[in-house]
Amino acid sequence: MTNKEINSMTYREATRELEEILRAIENDSVDVDELTLKVQRSSQLIKLCKDKLRSAELAIDQVFNEEKCEEPQKPGQPTNQGNGKLF
């Protein structure tokens, strides 16, 4: 599969293919010669998934910023509880 074809995959398609590769490796149905190709393909798919997740996060952050909503709470940040404000 070319880079263009990989980039046109959806997140769901990529994760589905990753799951298939994982099952094949777990079931020992991948020989050593094919293993290298599967690992390389997995690396490409993981990168695609990470890029799609980052893109979605940026788009969501942009919506919050455009709507002048409060930024989403980051894990580990203290909340504004007890200050009398709802938002």
In tens, the pLDDT along 11-50 reads: 999 999 999 999 999 998 889 889 999 999 999 999 999 9
The full set of domain ranges for the chain reads 3-66
Highest mean pLDDT out of 24-28, 67-71, 80-84? 24-28
Give pLDDT, residue 74.
64
- Predicted local distance difference test score (pLDDT) of residue 76: 64
Separation in Å, CA 70 to CA 25, 65, 76, 81, 84 = 45, 8, 16, 14, 16
Q: How many residues does the chain have?
A: 87
Residue 5 pLDDT? 79
Query: DSSP secondary structure string, 22-68?
Result: HHHHHTT-S-HHHHHHHHHHHHHHHHHHHHHHHHHHHHHHHHHHHTT
What is the model's pTM?
0.67
Rg, Å, the chain Cα set: 20
